[in-house]
Amino acid sequence: RKEVEQDPGPFNVPEGATVAFNCTYSNSASQSFFWYRQDCRKEPKLLMSVYSSGNEDGRFTAQLNRASQYISLLIRDSKLSDSATYLCVVNEGVRGYSTLTFGKGTMLLVSP
Amino acid sequence: DTGVSQDPRHKITKRGQNVTFRCDPISEHNRLYWYRQTLGQGPEFLTYFQNEAQLEKSRLLSDRFSAERPKGSFSTLEIQRTEQGDSAMYLCASSPKGTGRNEKLFFGSGTQLSVL
């Protein structure tokens, strides 16, 4: 079965903390990888793509290990506004269009 | 607002009734997707359109579900004889042509369906 599995959460952290989310995927043929953010009762929004070399966007760092089929997201200096559910997303993409498989998401709660 | 638009935002219906949802993608996007999301789960793929052609349907899309995109612009998702298990958020997403494996999907705000 093709799956994307994430830490169940929720993660409760104080402002300023560093928090890391982990994700594993089962389909070794997966082509591309993303983290989406979803606020309560809102639609998912792309946070960042994840590249094999690792990539950073401000306070957010994503890592991919294809050999271990593992993806991570690191958030530094957490803000209250970072509170949301973070979805790990894998694109099998073999048909020339997106076949996205979403994890269940990990909820982050940042407190003052 | 030039984002993906979905209508209605909320729908409450009685079991056995038919419902129809509409999605207006971003105007220059030729790819359109429908997803379903239940509480505590990530979105699950339902179906994909490239222009007016429906190219893939998930096994989640039972024969009570039908989706159309008649002119390659807006799309509709109809559920016939609704069941309580159909209660979920129905999300539409679009993307432009030719973005390859790093295709980025833009989601609408979704239609929350509650079947009583």
pLDDT digits (tens, 9 = 90+) for B96-113: 876 666 778 899 999 999
- Displacement of CA A62 from its chain's centroid (Å): 8
A-B contacts (CB, under 8 Å): 55
Q: The tokens of B77 are what?
A: 């998702």
State what percent of residues in chain A have pLDDT above 70.
Answer: 97
Which pLDDT does position B97 carry in this prediction? 73
Per-residue pLDDT of A57-109, as tens digits, reads: 999 999 999 999 999 999 999 999 999 999 999 988 767 777 889 999 999 99
Cα of A76 to nearest chain B Cα, Å: 24
Say yes or no for a CB contact (<8 Å) between B42 and A105. yes
B112 C-beta neighbours (distance < 10 Å), count:
16
Half-sphere exposure of B78 (CA within 13 A, CB side): 10
Q: B102: burial class by Cβ within 10 Å (0-12, 13-18, 19+)?
A: middle
Q: What distance in Å separates the CA atoms of residue B9 and residue A98, rounded to the nearest whole number? A: 25
- DSSP string of A33-46? EEEEEE-TTS-EEE
Which amino acid makes up residue B41? Answer: Q
Query: Tens digits of per-residue pLDDT, A15-32?
Result: 999 999 999 999 888 889
CB B57 within 8 A of CB B47: yes
Phi, psi values for residue A27, rounded to 5°? -90, 105
Q: What is the pLDDT of residues B28-80, one digit of tens each?
A: 899 999 999 999 999 999 999 999 999 989 988 889 999 999 988 999 999 99
A97·B103 Cβ contact <8 A: yes
